[in-house]
Chains A and B, each alone.
Chain A
Amino acid sequence: MKSFVSVLAGALTAALLSTAAYAENLVLYTSQPNEDAQATVDAFQAANPGIEVEWVREGTTKIMAKLMAEIEAGNPVADVLLIADTVTMQRLKEAGHLADYKSPEAANYDAALYDADGAYYSTKMITTGIVYNTSAAMKPAGWQDLTKTEAKGLVTMPSPLTSGAALIHAQTLSNIDGLGWDYYKALAANGATAAGGNGGVLKAVATGEKAYGMLVDFMAIREKAKGAPVEFVFPAEGVSTVTEPVGILKTAKNVDAAKKFVDFLLSEEGQNTAVKMGYIPARNGVALPEGYPARETIKVLPVNAADAVKNSDADLKTFSGIFGTN
């Protein structure tokens, strides 16, 4: 009994010490799926020995809520953010939460892909298109196909209340002539559901609970390569896109390590790491991974970033109103 207690007491002491140790580590908040986040961190740590990275993964909307709660409590834990979209980053920048950093790697990037003050940098391109189960009756070609009767009750999509990509997607489609919020209303009327993140959509479609889904490209293409019964379509009308920007918080405790992390993601090595995971790289001159069509054939729908920043809350409410609370 005594030794049992002393072991437990030892574990507790170790726990105490380890919470102190977290302060030394670079803390990353990311919306990447767990495996990718771990692979990114592993590659970074291999390239920068001596820096330990502690990371947390949640959907962009959720991780922002966590961060904002921490900021309000006066104890923001994160040093660096790697989240789905620049709109969220822009909001953070306008609220004064981001630190400016001019990365030397920026020269290799299109100026539209990073903030002029250096508050955030796009790291990849993630488009949202249509995924379908290979045993589905209809092969969808465009967004409107999901409102057809063949797809009744068989469509699912991620919720903007969880996923940053899903919010941008909704904001993009809702401003396109011929789609708009009416398109989402038609989807809802056709029995489409919206819940959780992209992972849930992939699961539902791959497992056959649903036949069609709106999904980020890399998940579908990667899962297909692993043998899952899914296909990915870049719809005829075009795709929405997010660029997974990285940014350093003003309250960061490990600024130097954070800067190294940003530089690494933007470097050729970092970009190749992303390609290996199946993402479209953002850096000029890095080839697309297997399973993608040529870069120039992908039609990207426009989105007004300033409006998107301004209307985020209203758009979330509109979406919630159409599909229910989640």
Chain B
Amino acid sequence: MLERNDLRSRPRWLRFPFQSSTQDVPQARVGARPAAEPRWLVPFVFACLFLLCLLPLISLAKAGFAGLVSGQSIGVLTEPATFAAIRNTLITATGGMIVSVVIGAIFAFAVALTDVRGKLALSFAFMLPMMIPPQVTALAWVEMTGPASPLLKTLGIAPPLGSPQPLYSLAGISLLLGVQHAPLVFLALKAGLSASPRDGVEAARLAGATPFRVISDIVAPLSLPGLIAGAAIAFVSGVGNFGIPAILGIPAGIEVLPTLIYTRLASFGAGTFGEIALLSSLIAVIAAAGLILQQRALSGRDYRIIGLSGAHAAFALGRYRLVVEMALVAILFFVLAAPLAALVASSLVPAYGVPLTFKTMTFHAFEEILFRQAVTRTAFFNSLSLASGAAVGLLFVTVLAAYALTRRRDGLSRIVSSLVEIPYSLPGIVMAVCFILVFAAPVPVLNVTLYGTVWIILIAYFSSFFAVSLKPVVSAFHQLDPALEEAARLSGAGFFRRLKDIIVPLIAPAAGASVILVFLIACNELTISALLWSAGTQTLGVAIYNLDDSGSSDLASALSVLVVLMVVFMMLLLELMAKRLPRGVVPWRN
């Protein structure tokens, strides 16, 4: 039934499971010299990879090393604040991971293995917290709990004066990180569970195995790799999350490494580059440690399934079905509906601490944000154009890169494939610091300063989301029959002609998916732009964070509500397109 597969196709070093789908088995001729590609292709791809993946890391290492050698920045490593931040980072990331695993696993098992109804709607709703920007999640939860919650006040069950906001704590940060990243565990686990063999389960049941026995002997071993992988991503994402600890931790004086970097850079400026490089390296080390641990745990657990997969193994819940469904809906109510309701409520009150009634309700915040605040327009414009720029621009690079990579199978291309995933695996704040270090001084030769312009954000997006864009394109290339292109080449079609007439039409659906995924992620991004924004280059994430920071939480809530609507709209759009897209591209679908 189960076969241990020790022939791993390539190292799992720093790879996210939903990128390393098992379908990319090498099918090109090993060592074949790709005669058909133009001479400039490989140098071009390598130049892009060097600029986007290697150069930033080299700059970080250089600045950190320089800080250490000169002794100027070494003090930061021995400061109590740094120790506290490391401790807090580890606690919140671990706590968040546990919450993610629990919630994510419940949903994944229920959706993948049982006969609950409304699976698509449940999955869709469960994916929302991941797509909503983390600072919006944090704002919504803050509005939901605490002594001044418009929701609780309206319901008359607000806690008394002086009650501390319960979320302004390590536990609060962990809880929200857990909610935010639970969909990652859900995805990692569901992929494995959906593929678990129905005939295996049926055979076991026929042989008289109890449901418990089936779970412990068939389902559990099959789901363990997904669970470990999901847990590792949740941990790494928790280490790098900025939005949640920024809203919940900074007011309470709880610093984690990303917020420590942000406050240092925001309050002390460029003089602290050495210190910040060191702090970023700390995050990178913690993130890498988490992923190495995952790899260790997974080694020797690489099961491959023989037989019919894809058919889902359904457990009939019988009369418990309604109970399970109610429980799932209840979880969704608490992690999604209630906070969003609170967010809407707080965007409608006239001032802090006023209960929301039909009498007090006002649309002032929406009026202000939509029609008066210039920053809203700027932010929507910047986020949308940065996101489309990153999505479309990356596609041009990734199509060429995928072409070059899939047509050769030497060691170099393997190294390159791993290289691409480093910037994606590293927390955004580390990449932002890297790019500040690269571009703080004017670009040599051209003598152009990118720091403080929108371009530095765009380049950082290119780097961070390269892997996201590359994955669907590479899998489409693997499904491409090389004979088609070969035939075109023999008929005398040039490289661009072949690209235009053969390749692009064939990979179009995957390319569309790559564009949409990058767009969705980049649109809601805060961590990178929080460090890189300047006059006129505020993104939506930055605008929301600054509005809240300046005390205009009604405006922040109103803008957040608009952003949530936009996210839901785009997800629905993706859902509508789902039928035309390759399997596995729309994350909440089977």
- Provide the residues of chain A in CB contact with B381, threshold 8 Å: 15, 18
Bound Cα distance from A41 to B550, whole angstroms: 17
Chain A residues 58 to 94 lying within 8 A of chain B, measured CB to CB, are 58-59, 61-62, 64-66, 68-70, 72-75, 77-78
From A192-200, A239-247, A289-297, give the one contacting chain B: A192-200
Give the residue name and chain of the B residue nearest to A59 (CB).
Answer: B549
- CB-defined contacts of A208 to chain B, threshold 8 Å: 147-148, 158, 160-163, 353
- CB pair A42–B535 under 8 Å, yes or no, is no
Residue A54 at the chain B interface, CB threshold 8 Å? yes
Inter-subunit contact A74/B551 (CB<8 Å): no
Give the contacting residue for A195; candidates B147, B252, B534; CB below 8 A.
B252
In this assembly, does A223 line the interface, its C-beta being within 8 Å of a C-beta of chain B? yes
Closest-CB distance, A136 to chain B (whole angstroms): 7
Given the complex of chains A and B, what is the CA–CA distance between A57 and B385 in angstroms? 22
- A65: which of B260, B268, B453 is its contact (CB, 8 Å)? B268
A65 touches B373 (CB 8 A): no
Please, what's the 1-or-0 string for B222-264, where 1 marks a CB less than 8 Å from any CB in chain A? Answer: 0000000000000000000000000000111101000010010
Interface residues of B in 495-509 (CB under 8 A from A): 508
Number of A-B contacts (CB under 8 A): 223
Task: Point out the residues of chain B lying under 8 angstroms from A77, CB to CB.
Answer: 452, 534-536
Other-chain contact of A197, B255, B536, B550 (Cβ < 8 Å): B550
Q: Is A14 an interface residue (CB 8 A)?
A: yes
Which segment of A103-111, A118-126, A225-233 sits at the interface? A225-233
List B contacts of A209 (CB < 8 A). 146-148, 162-165, 168
CB of B263 within 8 A of CB of A326, answer yes
Q: Which of A5-13, A272-280, A298-306 lies at the interface?
A: A5-13
B265 touches A65 (CB 8 A): yes
Q: Which residues of chain A from 19 to 69 have a CB within 8 Å of any chain B CB?
A: 19, 22, 25, 27, 29, 33-35, 38, 41-42, 54-59, 61-62, 64-66, 68-69
A97 on the interface (CB 8 Å rule)? no
B161 touches A204 (CB 8 A): no
A207–B552 CB distance below 8 A: no
Q: Which of A19, A203, A204 contacts B454 (CB 8 A)?
A: A19
Contact, CB under 8 Å: B162 / A57: no
B578 contacts the other chain (CB 8 A): no
Which of A58, A65, A135 is most buried by chain B, counting CB atoms within 10 A of its CB? A65
B192 at the interface (CB under 8 A from A): no
Choice from A14, A55, A62 contacting B385 with Cβ under 8 Å: A14
Contact A161/B267 with A195-B250, A206-B353, A208-B161 known, Cβ cut-off 8 Å: yes
Within A160-219, the residues touching B (CB, 8 Å) are 161-162, 193-200, 202-204, 206-211, 219
**Does A154 interact with chain B (Cβ within 8 Å)?**
yes
Bound Cα distance A35, B163 (Å):
29
Q: Which residues of B contact A202 (CB under 8 A)?
A: 352, 551
Cα(A77)–Cα(B454), bound, Å? 12
- For A219, list chain B residues within 8 Å (CB): 551
B459 within 8 A of A: no
CA distance A199 to B545 in the complex (A): 12
CB within 8 Å for A12 and B354 given contacts A57-B546, A74-B442? no
A1 in contact (CB, < 8 A): yes
The one of A41, A56, A227 in contact with B360, judged by C-beta atoms closer than 8 angstroms, is A227
Given the complex, which residues of A lie within 8 Å of B271, measured CB to CB?
A: 68
> Is B386 part of the binding interface, using a Cβ–Cβ cutoff of 8 Å?
yes
Q: For B552, give its contact among A34, A65, A73 (CB under 8 Å).
A: A34
Q: Which residue of the partner chain, among A18, A198, A229, contacts B551 with CB atoms under 8 Å?
A: A198
Task: Kindly specify which of B102-110, B111-119, B297-305, B387-395 makes contact with the partner chain.
Answer: B387-395
CB pair A56 B535 closer than 8 Å = yes
Is B374 positioned at the interface, with any CB of A under 8 Å from its CB?
A: yes
The answer to whether B442 and A200 have CB atoms under 8 Å apart is no
Inter-subunit contact B454/A15 (CB<8 Å) = yes
Question: A12-B388, A38-B374, A326-B255 are contacts. A207–B551 as well, Cβ < 8 Å?
Answer: no
**Residue pair B392, A206 in contact (C-beta under 8 Å):** no
Q: Is the CB of A62 within 8 A of B550?
A: no
Instruction: Verify A211–B550 contact, CB threshold 8 A.
Output: no
Known: A34-B375, A208-B147. A325 touches B162 (CB 8 A): no
- B441 within 8 A of partner (CB): yes
CA distance A9 to B268 in the complex (A): 38
Which residue of A15, A33, A70 is within 8 Å of B451 (Cβ)? Answer: A70
B162 A66 Cβ-Cβ under 8 A: no
State whether the Cβ of A133 lies closer than 8 Å to any Cβ in chain B: yes
Chain A residues with CB under 8 Å of chain B are 1, 4-5, 8-9, 11-12, 14-15, 18-19, 22, 25, 27, 29, 33-35, 38, 41-42, 54-59, 61-62, 64-66, 68-70, 72-75, 77-78, 133, 135-136, 153-154, 161-162, 193-200, 202-204, 206-211, 219, 223, 226-230, 323-326
12 A-B contacts, Cβ less than 8 Å apart? A11-B385, A19-B537, A34-B375, A58-B546, A59-B549, A68-B270, A75-B449, A75-B451, A199-B549, A209-B146, A228-B351, A325-B263
A-B contact sample (19 more), CB < 8 A, given A207-B352, A228-B351: A5-B392, A11-B384, A11-B385, A12-B393, A19-B536, A25-B536, A34-B555, A54-B378, A55-B535, A57-B375, A62-B267, A68-B271, A69-B440, A73-B441, A73-B442, A154-B162, A161-B263, A194-B253, A209-B162
Closest 5 pairs (CB-CB, A-B): A199-B551, A207-B148, A206-B352, A65-B269, A15-B385
